[in-house]
Amino acid sequence: MTERRRLIDFILARLFLVTLLLVSTLILKVQSPGSIEGWLFTRFFLLLTGAYLFSLLSIVVSWLNVGFTYILAYFQIIWDILFVTLLLVVTGGIDSPFSFFYLLSIINAGVLLARREAIYTASLCGILYGALLDFQYFGLLTPLGLSRERAGQYGAAYVFYTLFFTIVVYYLAAYLCGYLAERLRRSELDLKEYKTRMEAELKRADRLAAVGELSARMAHEIRNPLAAISGSVQLIAENHNLQGEERQLLEIVMRESDRLNSLLTDFLAYARPLPPRKVEVPFCHIIDDLRLLMLSDQRFQRITIRREFDDMMKVWVDRDQFTQLLWNLFVNAADAMPQGGDITIALLPFTGGGEIDGACRITISDTGKGMSPQELAAIFEPFFSTKQEGTGLGLATVYRIVQGHGGRIRVESSPGEGTRFFIRLPGKTGEE
């Protein structure tokens, strides 16, 4: 709910309350003509009329000037405090049944503004109510129709205790209302951010699906003539009469053909991934397999792998696909640390508020150069890469695999501070 909408709802609630007061007073006057004196009813009616006019004016101003909302909210609180104070004066001061209306002003301050303003409002209400009772007790409000004798009948002790406990209640209401209002605002912001993130993920998923289908068709069309070219070159290379320069050129053609074939394989793996065949796998077994692969890869010579998980923990995944996912993340981390660094792997069970068998949260972090906000926003886009020889499909494939497993992936990174990938995967009985 926007601040403007909240303010208008508050003003409409005030109009409803004022209308209820007016109707109930008219009914009382009709049924018991002598219960309300004429001068008292006139003052009461003028006060309610002022509340109507101020509320209607506030609605008009809020619609005409959106940027005036915050200042207008302050005016609403000030008016409410003034209105309740005048209402107490008109309806008997210490005998008035409407002293609790100050609580509504405090609650409104917490909802419309913040906890600090609610406490300020409670302080002001306590000061005004205390001054009203004291002035009536000492006869300073007799010209306004508030009898000193009436206050004197209760005694000083009663007036003091009434004021003391009323002020305590005001402050308690201010604190609780401010706290709940702040929690509500934080929840609204979190919900809005979550909605925005989900919309972005849905758009990305639709875009990736369209690009993936097109890529798959193109890859098939390119792969057939490429196979013919590669086979023909291999046959020519078997000719022993080739000169050194000619053989070198053929080796370049074969090498580039193999690289292009590898790229097309990545295309097809990304564009048309197989449904995951999930099994329960010890997480340490997957990491051990990857460590063996790293021993023969020059990129990992200066990389230290740190494990932060229990070797007994298991994950519910497609072993081949998940191995590919982790390998792509490790390669991405190693490329970001050409001078060496640390890759940390953490695994924790994830319940999400309830028991989900096998659900987990995996964190892959590195101490590399990090990424800019622009790079961070596009890392899962296909064909996006910051490396000269990159295909731009590594992290896009990671995203696809996580999606295929029914999970979520999130990234945090800043230039010079490394990168952290957070992956949540569902278990046997739940989906993320």
Q: State mean pLDDT over 291-303.
A: 88
Q: State mean pLDDT over 344-350.
A: 88
- Domain extent listing, the chain: 3-198, 200-271, 279-425
Which of the four pLDDT bands, split at 50, 70 and 90, describes residue 366?
very high
CA atoms within 13 A of residue 418's CA, in its CB half-sphere: 14
What single string gives the DSSP state of each residue in 199-245?
A: HHHHHHHHHHHHHHHHHHHHHHHHHHHHHHHHHHHHHHHT-TT--HH
pLDDT over 90 (residue 112): no
Strand partners, 343: 305, 366
CA atoms within 13 A of residue 127's CA, in its CB half-sphere: 8
Helix (H), strand (E), coil (C) string for 41-66: HHHHHHHHHHHHHHHHHHHHHHHHCH
User: In whole angstroms, what is the distance from residue 430 CA to residue 408 CA?
Assistant: 13
Which of the four pLDDT bands, split at 50, 70 and 90, describes residue 353?
very low
Token pair in block for residue 171: 């402050």
Q: State mean pLDDT over 161-187.
A: 89
φ, ψ dihedrals at 423, nearest 5°: -120, 130
Strand partners, 422: 363, 410
Please tell me the predicted confidence (pLDDT) of residue 397: 84
First to last CA, the chain: 27
Instruction: Read off the pLDDT of residues 277-296 as tens digits, 9 standing for 90 and up.
Output: 899 999 999 999 998 888 88
Tell me if residue 303 falls in helix, strand or coil: strand
Task: Identify the architecture of domain 279-425 in CATH.
Answer: 2-Layer Sandwich (3.30)
Q: State mean pLDDT over 205-228.
A: 69
- Lowest mean pLDDT, pick from 51-60, 185-194, 302-311, 332-341: 185-194
Q: State mean pLDDT over 214-231.
A: 71
Which DSSP category does 17 fall into?
H
User: In whole angstroms, what is the distance from residue 87 CA to residue 99 CA?
Assistant: 9
- Lowest mean pLDDT, pick from 123-127, 152-156, 164-168, 296-300: 152-156
Q: State mean pLDDT over 94-115.
A: 87
* Helix, strand and coil in the chain, % to nearest 5: 65, 10, 25
Please tell me the predicted confidence (pLDDT) of residue 282: 92
Burial 115-134, CB ≥16 within 10 A → b, else e? bebbbbbbebbbebbbebbb
Which of the four pLDDT bands, split at 50, 70 and 90, describes residue 189?
confident
Largest alpha-carbon pair distance within the chain? 128
pLDDT over 90 (residue 183): no
Across 283-403, where does the E strand assignment appear?
Answer: 303-308, 314-317, 341-349, 360-366
Strand partners, 419: 413
pTM for this one? Answer: 0.52
Burial 305-339, CB ≥16 within 10 A → b, else e? eeeebeeeebbbbbbebbbbbbbbbbbbbbbbbee
Check if the beta carbon of residue 286 is closer than 8 Å to that of residue 323: yes
Please tell me the predicted confidence (pLDDT) of residue 147: 77
Average pLDDT, the chain: 83
Please tell me the predicted confidence (pLDDT) of residue 355: 43
Check if the beta carbon of residue 297 is closer than 8 Å to that of residue 305: no
Instruction: Read off the pLDDT of residues 395-410 as tens digits, 9 standing for 90 and up.
Output: 888 888 898 888 999 9
Residues 6+ apart with CB under 8 A from 316: 278, 279, 280, 281, 357, 358, 359, 425, 426, 427, 428
More confident residue, 245 or 133: 133
Burial classification of residue 430, based on how many CB atoms lie within 10 Å of its CB (0-12 exposed, 13-18 middle, 19 or more buried): middle
Instruction: Read off the pLDDT of residues 223-273 as tens digits, 9 standing for 90 and up.
Output: 667 777 777 777 777 766 767 777 777 777 777 777 777 777 766 666 666
Burial classification of residue 275, based on how many CB atoms lie within 10 Å of its CB (0-12 exposed, 13-18 middle, 19 or more buried): exposed
Q: Which helix (H) or strand (E) holds 410?
A: strand 408-413
